[in-house]
Chains A and B, each alone.
Chain A
Amino acid sequence: MNFLEALSQTALIRWVGESDWGYPIVLTSHAIGMALVVGILLMFDLRALGVGSRIPFAAFRTYFPVAWVGLVINVCSGTLLFLINYTAFLHNAAFITKISLLIAAALGTWALARDIAKECGGGISRNTKVLAYACIALWIGAIIAGRIIGYISVPE
């Protein structure tokens, strides 16, 4: 915990937490990063479920780097937001839920991409479709949990 405390006292984190523009700038980056990662990966899930079914899965190789950029933006902006008030976040059930759902969504997407690569050429199997539905549910769950974080009273 001392390490987190030291990080939370750095000039950068204090700027994010205390200046007029720091917080909204980081929050906005977090929303744009979300649009890139969740946006592209939801489209990938929808493609697995049959939307735009003549688009080859290989095409997503061009789009995945956009999702990676979004992921980097959100790991960075998320870390900054977390450090401003890390003790409150660690005690916030919605925050813990959000992080768990994000990890599950990332693992689910990885498994989905692996399954689709295996099934290349043939149709999409029932199990793969179930996985795509699960990924969509996990992303939506993470968004819901993320919104609830602010509504739970956070101990200072």
Chain B
Amino acid sequence: MNLSSIAQRMGQSWLGQTARDVFWVFPTAEMLHFLGLCLLMGAMLLVDLRLLGFARSVSIKQTMTFIPVAAFGLALNLFSGIVFLCAYPENYWPSTAFRFKLFAIILGGSNALWFKWAEAPRIELLPESADTDRRTKVVAALSLFIWVVVIVLGRFLPYVSKSSS
């Protein structure tokens, strides 16, 4: 099964048909995509800036209580993103900007899983107001950088594909 047949199936799916036929489905998915973006970035700023050494007076573990908010935002964006893909697969799959965006999302997700499995257990052992080590700071900086790149690629997507076609 190759990429174009997956794209075709998505387009023919019930979700794709509905997203094209019911006028409010696509704009609603857009609104959810923007709200999800704010939740993901807002929560990650709280956590990652603390990991990078800002707001030292706050316990890292406390800022980490906002991680489920980020996960919820990401889930909203994956769901609404799938709606876009099913509605107009031909606008996304062939686009270089979209492929880079997908790659960046996978990197961002992997970085988050690395944080959960490799960094969070080490943070547990730190005293309340301690600073993180360089390894954790790199993961935090990558997190902010990757999600901003995802926003940039997403906003450029319609314009890049237009100019290349």
Measured CB to CB, the residues of A under 8 A from B are 20, 23-24, 27-28, 31-32, 34-36, 38-43, 46, 51-52, 54-56, 58-59, 62-63, 66, 139-140, 143-144, 146-148, 151
Contact = CB atoms under 8 A, between A and B. Distances in A.
B55 A43 contact: no
B79 interface: no
Nearest to A41: B42
A26 to B, nearest CB: 10
Interface of B: 27, 30-31, 34-35, 37-43, 45-46, 49, 54-55, 57-59, 62-63, 65-66, 69, 148, 151-152, 154-156, 159-160, 163
Contact of A42 (B30, B42, B152): B42
B41 A35 contact: yes
B42 A23 contact: no
B30 to A, nearest CB: 5
Contacts of B62: 52, 54-55
Given A20-B163, A56-B57, A66-B49, A35 B156 contact: no
A46 B65 CA distance: 11
A147 B151 contact: no
Contact of A143 (B38, B54, B57, B154): B38
Nearest to A142: B34
23 contacts: A20-B163, A28-B151, A28-B152, A28-B155, A32-B152, A34-B37, A38-B42, A39-B37, A40-B46, A41-B42, A42-B38, A43-B43, A51-B65, A52-B63, A55-B59, A56-B57, A56-B58, A63-B46, A63-B49, A66-B49, A143-B31, A143-B34, A143-B35
B12 to A, nearest CB: 25
Nearest to B159: A24
Contacts of A147: 27, 30-31, 34
B69 A43 contact: yes
Given A51-B66, A56-B57, A66 B155 contact: no
Given A28-B156, A63-B46, 18 more contacts: A20-B159, A23-B159, A24-B156, A28-B152, A31-B155, A34-B37, A35-B41, A39-B37, A39-B39, A40-B46, A51-B65, A51-B66, A52-B65, A54-B65, A55-B59, A56-B57, A147-B31, A147-B34
